Amino acid sequence: MNEALKLKLAAIFVRGIVTSGCGGRGWGGSGAAVVGIECGFELHEEGGNLVLFPSAPHLALWRLWTAARRRLPFSVIGSLNGVHMFGQNLEVQLNSARTQDTTVVWRSFHDSITLIVLSSAEGSSELGLERLLQMVFGAMVLFVGLEELTNIRNVERLKKELRASYRLIDSFLGDSELIGDLTQCVDCVVPPEGSLLQEALSGFAEAAGTAFVSLTVSGRVVAATESWWRLGMPEAVLVPWLAGSLPPQAAGDYPVYLPHGSPTVPHRLLTLTLLPGLELCLLCGPRPPLSQLDPQLLERWWQPLLDPLRACLPLGPRGLPAGFPLHIDILGLLLLHLELKRCLFTVQPSGDKEPSPEQRRRLLRSFYTLVTATHFARGQRWAQCPLV
């Protein structure tokens, strides 16, 4: 893979007024690039011409370099935004377009912000790009709330607040080992002693005073309370993904909005590290304070389960416990439970074979996208689709 290129933000339009060019913090990865606010970008050359920018009426658009070291002309960016607005004025909804080597997808959210993504990456599809935009907007709501995005009073303050979402959006664009962004199902693992972990988790949740608790490893859910499983989409995917993207630390306390369940009133996301990569996630209100979750409480519930917890660490990339019976020729596996909105995704049952795990992930994602986009109509209920 070629060295990542630095992509620079060229211009910001707010209500049709050019405000500034800027550079700095980056969002990037091998599959796509998302335009950020006051930020630069990293994009691998193999990704092709990949751009995403918010557009009018409230936030107009952002422009950046392509992976081919060539600027998209301002006229092209303006035309993409203009043709979408022109269609809206005629009550025509422009969703996507395709050239010989590029796919363009437009998506408007709450008649306030329009996100546009261009991709010439091999295997890119309208379905994948649409869901990327949904995840990006969901991440924005998660950090700043829906009110700030639909009723923009101070653009500069919004740009500053959205910086907190950069790390999460970074993780959507890299070569992630997760697939919930595409399937819209929660990435899960199969722990070797799940009943013991579930019992301890339920007891810990009662002692901590919150019904929303999960145990995660590298962004995948190992076990969760019943209330946690009732979280709506997209927060059911976003919150564990966020926990897996945060820098390592013993404990954290973050204000988050739930895009579906509570888009205007923030909750608190508490994270507690049991082992490196293995974390407890709690969603709660003002209580309990983080200081109440002292080491004694953690030791009481989790010290007796130290060995089962250690056995969960390899599940981050693998998803399945060692010795799980699978045919030796299975190189990758995607299992979806569409009613429960959970999925199991692994490309490491046979890690020593070709193609590489990275290639397997791309192939399996492409296969899922092809089957879903080809055989199921837009808007069809996921619960009616068979397992892939």
* DSSP, residue by residue, 168-237: HHHHHHS--S--HHHH-SEEB---TTHHHHHHHHHHHHHHHT-SEEEEEETTEEEEE-HHHHT--TTHHH
Residue 283 is predicted with a pLDDT of 96
Residue 387 is predicted with a pLDDT of 29
Q: Which two tokens stand for residue 186?
A: 């929660």
Mean pLDDT of the chain: 77
Q: Is there a contact between 190 and 344 (Cβ–Cβ < 8 Å)?
A: yes
Residue 47 is predicted with a pLDDT of 42
Residue 120 is predicted with a pLDDT of 76
Q: What percent of the chain has pLDDT over 70?
A: 78
Element (H, E) at 241: helix 235-245
State yes or no: pLDDT of 195 exceeds 60.
yes
Burial bucket for residue 62 (CB in 10 Å: 0-12, 13-18, 19+): buried
Which tens digits make up the pLDDT trace of 301-344? 999 999 999 999 999 888 988 888 888 888 889 999 999 999 99
Distances (CA, A) of 87 to 8, 57, 79, 105, 249: 29, 13, 12, 14, 48
State yes or no: pLDDT of 256 exceeds 60.
yes
Q: Is there a contact between 268 and 210 (Cβ–Cβ < 8 Å)?
A: no
Q: Mean pLDDT throughout 268-279?
A: 94
Residue 328 is predicted with a pLDDT of 83
Residue 327 is predicted with a pLDDT of 85
Q: Which amino acid is at 28?
A: G
Residue 72 is predicted with a pLDDT of 65
Residue 386 is predicted with a pLDDT of 33
| Sign for the pseudo-dihedral over CA of 346, 331, 313, 276 | negative
Q: Which amino acid is at 80?
A: L
Residue 86 is predicted with a pLDDT of 85
334 backbone dihedrals φ, ψ, rounded to 5°: -130, 115
Q: Which two tokens stand for residue 200?
A: 């301890």
* pLDDT band (50, 70, 90) for residue 33: very low
Q: What percent of the chain has pLDDT over 90?
A: 38
Stated pTM of the model: 0.80
Q: Which residue has the higher pLDDT, 240 or 317?
A: 240
- Which residues, 6 or more positions from 299, have their beta carbon under 8 angstroms from its beta carbon? none
Q: Which residue has the higher pLDDT, 101 or 249?
A: 249
Q: How far apart are CA 348 and CA 332, in angstroms?
A: 7
Residue 81 is predicted with a pLDDT of 78
Residue 220 is predicted with a pLDDT of 96
Give alpha helix (H) positions in 38-173: 74-89, 126-144, 146-150, 155-162, 166-173
SS (H, E, C) 251-308: EEEEEEEECCCEEEEEEEEEEEEEECCEEEEEEECCCCCHHHCCHHHHHHHHHHHHHH
Residue 64 is predicted with a pLDDT of 41
Which of these ranges, 171-175, 209-213, 314-318, has the smallest mean pLDDT?
171-175
Q: How far apart are CA 241 and CA 184, in angstroms?
A: 12
Q: Mean pLDDT throughout 357-375?
A: 88
Q: Which residue has the higher pLDDT, 323 or 186?
A: 186
Residue 17 is predicted with a pLDDT of 26
State yes or no: pLDDT of 238 exceeds 90.
yes
| Sign for the pseudo-dihedral over CA of 34, 257, 260, 182 | positive
Strand partners of residue 29:
43
Which tens digits make up the pLDDT trace of 100-155? 888 888 888 888 888 888 777 777 788 988 998 899 899 999 999 999 988 888 87
